[in-house]
A and B are shown apart, each in its own frame.
Chain A
């Protein structure tokens, strides 16, 4: 099935715990992104990758890390979760990354609660 998958769908996590959110796409897109979406705020970019083997920081990278070992996978890790990281996390991909009209395709999201 073409598209982007994310896992888990939702998670409740104790503060201080380590957590990895998984993201896989099968569209052979070069670029991938991680966003968080909080009520009343727009989507905010956490990290991105324009191609396998490279990553970059977005608007709100602190407390998060990513890796891009291959084209398909782009995991997001919270090294030591804090309550302010409670959010809905969306993974997205796009064919090029640096193109103007490069549409982003989104995964279904992961709802994370940190207590």
Chain B
């Protein structure tokens, strides 16, 4: 079967750095996405990786290793507004997104 694993919850301090990991087993691979979802709101796109390596976008970076079935989202200079759930999703061989359950990130002052 297809599976996306990520930690259920993480806590970090304002101004610090946090890394959210995602491992996947899917039928085919056509890219990995990270989305942010604030409580009670819709998911919004953060990043896309299809080749191995690091993609940097401001305070957020995303890394992919296809051979290991592994990705992480790195958030730097954490702000209170970064408190949200972070969803990892992989596009499979049918170009459908398979979603992880999400990691709830709690930022403390």
Contacts and interface: CB of A to CB of B under 8 A. Distances in A.
Are A and B subunits of one complex? yes
Interface of A: 40-45, 48, 58, 90, 97-109
A45 B96 contact: yes
Contact of A42 (B44, B91, B101): B101
Contacts of B102: 42
B43 A100 contact: no
Interface residues of B, number: 22
30 contacts: A40-B101, A42-B87, A42-B89, A42-B99, A42-B100, A42-B101, A42-B102, A43-B43, A43-B87, A43-B89, A43-B97, A43-B99, A44-B99, A58-B96, A90-B42, A90-B43, A100-B31, A100-B50, A100-B91, A100-B95, A102-B91, A102-B95, A103-B33, A103-B48, A104-B45, A105-B45, A107-B42, A108-B41, A108-B42, A109-B41
Nearest to A103: B45
B42 A48 contact: no
Interface of B: 4, 30-31, 33, 41-45, 48, 50, 87, 89, 91, 95-102
Contacts of A97: 95
Contacts, number: 49
B54 to A, nearest CB: 16
Specify which of B31, B48, B101 lies most central, judged by the most chain A CB atoms within 10 Å of its CB: B101
B50 A106 contact: no
Contacts of A107: 42
B107 to A, nearest CB: 21
Nearest to B91: A100
A43 B42 CA distance: 11
Nearest to A41: B101
A63 to B, nearest CB: 19
A101 B45 CA distance: 11
A41 B101 CA distance: 5
